[in-house]
Amino acid sequence: MDRENEQLEQFYRETAPALLAYFRHQPALAGAAEDLLQDTFVRALKHRDRLETAVSRRAYLFGIARHVGLDALRQAEPVGVPADSQIAPVAGEDGRLESMRAAIAELPPPQREALLLKLQQELSYEEIAGVLDIPVGTVRSRLHYAVLRLRQVLNPPIAYED
């Protein structure tokens, strides 16, 4: 039992900061990030056997976190587009970063969600598919469209000939 608790403590230490960041990166959920993190773990521990037998425990936990976030959004008041999602003027490196942030914020939500799971959480395509409950092919196409869109926003298209 102590060993189990130790493992759980270890797992919590490893994943809790990433989950907290996941919630805090979503403007509508940032204020309640700690509560949502707690809800995520409470739900995960309710069905601990499923957590133990999951192919990727990290992906399983992010799947729960996503549902917890969606539930919270459903219960919350509708939130307007945050001011920082507006495209800022380009000026040097900081300007490019700001533009990129704005471009990411402008992405369609399914593409943005997949991109954030990939870039922030470093999940594999298969893990993202598990989190979002969609086929791996859909994950790939969402990520590809997202990258292409970002590239179009920041760089003019380059003509390529075989």
Partner 1 sequence: MKTETLETLLIDRALGALSPEVAELLESHLIQNPDAVRHAESVESTVRLARTAVAGAPVSTGHPPPLDRVRKTLRVRRRQAFATELSRLAACLLLGLTIGLIGRPGGSPAGAPGVSTAVARPVIASDAANGAGGRNGFWSLANFAPGKPEQSAAGVRQDSRYRLHWDSPVKMPHLEENL
**Residue 144 interacts with partner 1 (CB under 8 A): yes or no:** yes
What contacts 24+ positions apart, CB below 8 Å, involve 99-104?
99/153, 99/154, 100/150, 100/154, 103/149, 103/150, 103/153, 103/154, 104/150
Which of 86, 120 has the CB closer to partner 1?
Answer: 120
CA distances from 64 to 11, 43, 61, 109, 154 (A): 15, 7, 5, 18, 34
Residue selected from 2, 49, 133, 161 as contacting partner 1 according to rule CB under 8 A: 161
Contact in structure between 43 and 61 (CB atoms under 8 Å): no
Q: To the nearest whole angstrom, how small is the minimum distance from the Cβ of residue 34 to partner 1? A: 6
**Residue 116 interacts with partner 1 (CB under 8 A): yes or no:** yes
**Residue 76 interacts with partner 1 (CB under 8 A): yes or no:** no
Say how far apart CA 104 and CA 99 lie, in whole Å.
9
Residue selected from 4, 7, 17, 82 as contacting partner 1 according to rule CB under 8 A: 17
Residue selected from 37, 61, 64, 131 as contacting partner 1 according to rule CB under 8 A: 37
User: Which residues neighbour 2 within 8 Å (Cβ) at sequence distance 6 or greater?
Assistant: none
**Residue 118 interacts with partner 1 (CB under 8 A): yes or no:** yes
3-class DSSP state of 111: helix
| Residue ranges in contact with partner 1 by CB under 8 A | 8-9, 12, 16-17, 19-21, 24-25, 30, 34, 37-38, 41-42, 45-46, 96-97, 100-101, 104, 115-116, 118-120, 124-125, 140, 143-144, 147-148, 150-151, 154-155, 158, 160-162
